[in-house]
A and B are shown apart, each in its own frame.
With several copies, the nearest count.
Chain A
Amino acid sequence: MAVDMKVTLCGKVLKNPVIAASGTFAFGQQHSWLIDVSRLGGIALKSLTPEKRVGNKPPRIAETASGIVNSVGLQNPGVDVFLEKMMKRVALFDTAIIANIAGRSIDDYVAVIQKLNETSIDFFELNISCPNVRMGGASFGTDEGMARDCVMAAKAVSKKPMIVKLTPAAGDIVRIARAAESAGADALSLINTIPAMAVDAKTKRPILGNVTGGLSGPCIKPVALKMVYDVSRAVSVPVIGIGGIMTGEDAAEFMLCGATAVMAGTANLVDPEAPLRIIDELTAYAKTMNIDNITALTGALEV
């Protein structure tokens, strides 16, 4: 018997719960050279900011035990160039499109949302891991008040369902999750990368040009699972699980911990075929477990 892989997120039906995570799928083009992008449940585009960003000084990637540390730094063409040159191609993918939005101030977030409101984009994802320049650079996502203000302002102008992407750098992620929910978030996605660093003992230098970066990959899965478990029990909006998902079983673990859908990030970069493999493996897992509707996994952990 076939497994029904569809999941509903904020009223929209996804083909399956596997979404490509922001920053690991660019705007879909490079992966489309190698795989059928439309088989995915959705794709989250690289973070967009109002202005073009050149990004951080290279090197921007370091390899660590079962993980990677990146410091790309939101390099993106800016929302206007995106709209002019890339949106058309993105719209051709037959999958849910999530525009990930970043900024240095609340106005930045609002500006990007307003420009994307009339497109065929399906969801917004608010990347609140960004430093708030007005507040001395502390990230929106590590402060309850800033997170709430940011989400409220974004919701006020948004015409699309709003996913808020949480950062593990928050001391108490459940508090930020609750704040985002009460400010109107339609869904939460977590986790973004964990602040980290890599050093080359031989040269006595940091490996990254930016000194520090964000850790992702299988190494962070245990941390992400706990956060998804804690957050999904604390809020009533749907949660999207992210962090080190490399296989269908990894995806299943996040769903068991309460996720409605998942995002694979590092996996897409390490193996361009990974997102499709993850879908296939998750389907096979559901079959083995005699689950005919993948939604049955969400929160089904037996504690």
Chain B
Amino acid sequence: MFKKVVATVKENSKIAAGIYKMIIACGDADIRHFVPGQFADIAVPGHAELLLRRPISISAVNPDNNTAALIYQIQGKGTDIFSRLTPQTKIDAIMPVGRGFYLTAREKTVFLVGGGVGIAPLLSVTQKWPSKTYEAFLGYKGRDYAYCLDDFENACGKVIVTSDDGTLGEKGFVTDALGRRLIEAKPDIVLACGPVPMLRALKDILSPFGVPAQVSMEQRMCCGFGACATCVCGVDHGEGLEYKKVCIEGPVFDLFEVVL
């Protein structure tokens, strides 16, 4: 279960253009039961005028020293302030929150599809379920924006990289690369995280193949722990549209049920 904790910044450094990695000591948080896809909901320190916490996926945990890694992109005020936090800064976080990715014994080959900063949370899937066969499809804006590539190379049987500008891997959309690969090999499941247009393309590409997929959704959040119902996304299980809370009923949803 998530808790409200006082975490401590241990490291915080740039790992790619506009992308940072922060290691935090997690205080009283229960990170032993961390599930990939879960996030930390972090108050912006020292800024009383910014009321909302910022949700950042936990990209890896290390229960041995009680730390977690967060990989984030500078997007606006909050993440800009995060990028300037120095070691020892105390941060107020609710973590780990959410229903993450879920693999059973039935899924043996897993394709991971990530775009941009959405690539980060996928890595821990390979740590949580090490005995699966993984292929990763990673889409970056360009060479300067790439991060964690070595980690995926180590953890996955195959890594296909694309970039918007062609400076890294194939030029083009990561979903197109996936589409070509699907003609050769069909996984048991696809786990994806990335911008909505990528998820839409993913849906189109997967549909004809009948491959199930789980996707991590983003939504503007207020409380981050289920109390306000501001963070919803549409879900349709076949009984009409319902709004589900991304914070505690997600962020991971069935690609074929969620409204994109």
Contacts and interface: CB of A to CB of B under 8 A. Distances in A.
Interface stretch (A59-67, A179-187, A289-297): A59-67
Interface stretch (B147-155, B185-193, B229-237): B229-237
Given A60-B229, A60-B230, A61-B231, A68 B48 contact: no
A33 B51 contact: no
A113 B184 CA distance: 62
A68 B243 contact: no
Contacts of B223: 30, 268-270, 272
Contacts of A59: 219-220, 230
B56 to A, nearest CB: 16
Contacts of B226: 26, 29-30
A30 B222 CA distance: 14
Interface in A20-34: 23-26, 29-31, 33-34
Contact of A66 (B2, B48, B225): B48
B74 interface: no
A47 to B, nearest CB: 11
A217 B241 contact: no
How many A residues are at the interface, by size bracket? 35 or more
Contacts of A75: 229, 232, 243
B160 to A, nearest CB: 31
Contacts of A72: 228-230
B232 A60 contact: yes
Contact of A24 (B43, B219, B228): B228
B242 interface: yes
Contacts of A26: 226-229
Contacts of A270: 43, 51-53, 222-223
Contact of A62 (B43, B220, B227, B229): B220
Given A26-B226, A60-B230, A75-B243, 4 more contacts: A58-B219, A58-B234, A270-B222, A273-B4
15 contacts: A24-B228, A26-B226, A30-B226, A30-B227, A33-B2, A54-B243, A58-B220, A58-B232, A58-B234, A60-B229, A61-B220, A61-B221, A68-B52, A70-B228, A75-B243
